[in-house]
Amino acid sequence: MGSMTVKAGGVTLGVEHFGDPAAPLVLLTGGTTMLSWPDPLCAALARGGRHVVRYDLRDSGASTTVDPDAPAYTLRDLAGDAAALARTLDDRPAHLAGIGVGGMVAQVAALDHPDAFSALTLAGTRPVAPGPVDDDLPDHDPAAMGQLFSRSMPDWSDRAAVAEFAARGAGILGDDPTAARVAAERKWDRTPGTEPAVQLANQLGMVFAKLDCTPRWRERLAELAIPALVVHGRRDPFFPVGNGEALAREIPGARLLVLERDATAIPAAAAGEVAAAMLSL
């Protein structure tokens, strides 16, 4: 059905549909935009008999944008958006998936709105909010973070400069620079308005740390009573794989799928393996 917007929970969310709308729903929470979920994975899930909907978080893509530099909502509000969207799209509970910071949204959504979701997939994320990490969890790789955050910001009005900035960042993280460049160009093209700088920065995951993510939710993970899959790249320097291992230990019955050759992003080459694991829940 393509791209559109949907009003859910008092906000407008940019969404894109794949597959049969009558099929069971898989809702993909962007991290922060829907394009965090690769097209081949969405297509593979649709071929597997699912109605796949990926969406933009607030202040990114086609979703409600007010002031990404000073969000007037919390992580729990974003979790409420996920539940409201799932209920708007289908009367049945949905399979919810979150990647990166979207995985934090997905964890809180599944805990706060258990009736809205039938399964949970968490990709490249961790069980605590941005900021100081628990002592037992591996923190960001310092060398990679030093390179990543010491770079000069691009001219956000220059599509090519933004794409190159994203590609270089992907190279630092161990992801595919070409895929990151294409995704950044698509994000740039989808950014509304004449001054997209802050929104684009948010789409590249640089503003989420300003969000209120209290209270903690890690201690509640044992409450989850739905099938769960944790997907994590072995070479992820941003959220090292120990974070995914902790999630899989603490969510009852969760399956851990480690992508041995991959880092922070799910590459097209892994789409079939990840889709098959998701479809098995």
Mean pLDDT, the chain, rounded, equals: 93
> In the structure encoding, which two tokens stand for residue 12, read together?
């407008």
Query: According to the model, what pLDDT value does residue 3 have?
Result: 78
The verdict on residue 179 lying in a domain is no
Q: Looking at the domain assignment, is residue 52 inside a domain? A: yes
Question: How far apart, in whole angstroms, are the C-alpha atoms of residue 68 and residue 122?
Answer: 24
pLDDT (mean) for 151-167: 90
> Is 124 contained in some domain?
yes
Structure-token match 């909907």, residue found? 53
Residue 220 lies in a domain: yes
Q: pLDDT class for 133, splitting at 50, 70, 90?
A: very high
Summarize pLDDT for 18-70 with one digit per residue, the tens: 999 999 999 999 888 999 999 999 999 999 999 999 999 998 888 988 888 78
- Contacts by residues 153-161 (CB-CB < 8 Å, ≥ 24 positions apart): 153/201, 156/196, 156/197, 156/200, 156/201, 157/195, 157/196, 157/197, 159/185, 159/188, 159/189
More confident residue, 132 or 260: 260
Note whether residue 195 is domain-resident: no
Which residues, at least 6 apart from 135, have a Cβ–Cβ distance to it below 8 Å? none
- How sure is the predictor about 208, in pLDDT bands with cuts at 50, 70 and 90? confident
Output the pTM of the full model: 0.96
Quick one: pLDDT at residue 213?
94
Three-class SS of residue 192? coil
How many other β-carbons are positioned within 10 Å of the β-carbon of residue 194? 5
Residue 195 binned pLDDT confidence (cut-offs 50, 70, 90): low
Residue 186 lies in a domain: no
Please state the domain count of the chain: 1
Q: Whose CA is closest to 200, among 103, 80, 56?
A: 56
User: Of all residues in the chain, what percent carry a pLDDT higher than 70?
Assistant: 94
Task: Quickly state the pLDDT bin for 9 (edges 50, 70, 90).
Answer: confident
Q: What are phi and psi of 216, to 5 degrees?
A: -60, 150
Residue 1 has pLDDT above 60, yes or no: no
The answer to whether position 99 is within a domain reads yes
105 lies in some domain: yes
Task: Pick the range with the lowest mean pLDDT from 84-98, 164-178, 192-206.
Answer: 192-206
pLDDT band at 198 (very low <50, low <70, confident <90, very high): low
Residue numbers of the domain that contains 79: 2-139+207-279
CATH number at residue 114: 3.40.50.1820
Beta strands at 51-55 and 228-233: parallel, antiparallel or unpaired: unpaired
pLDDT of residue 193: 59
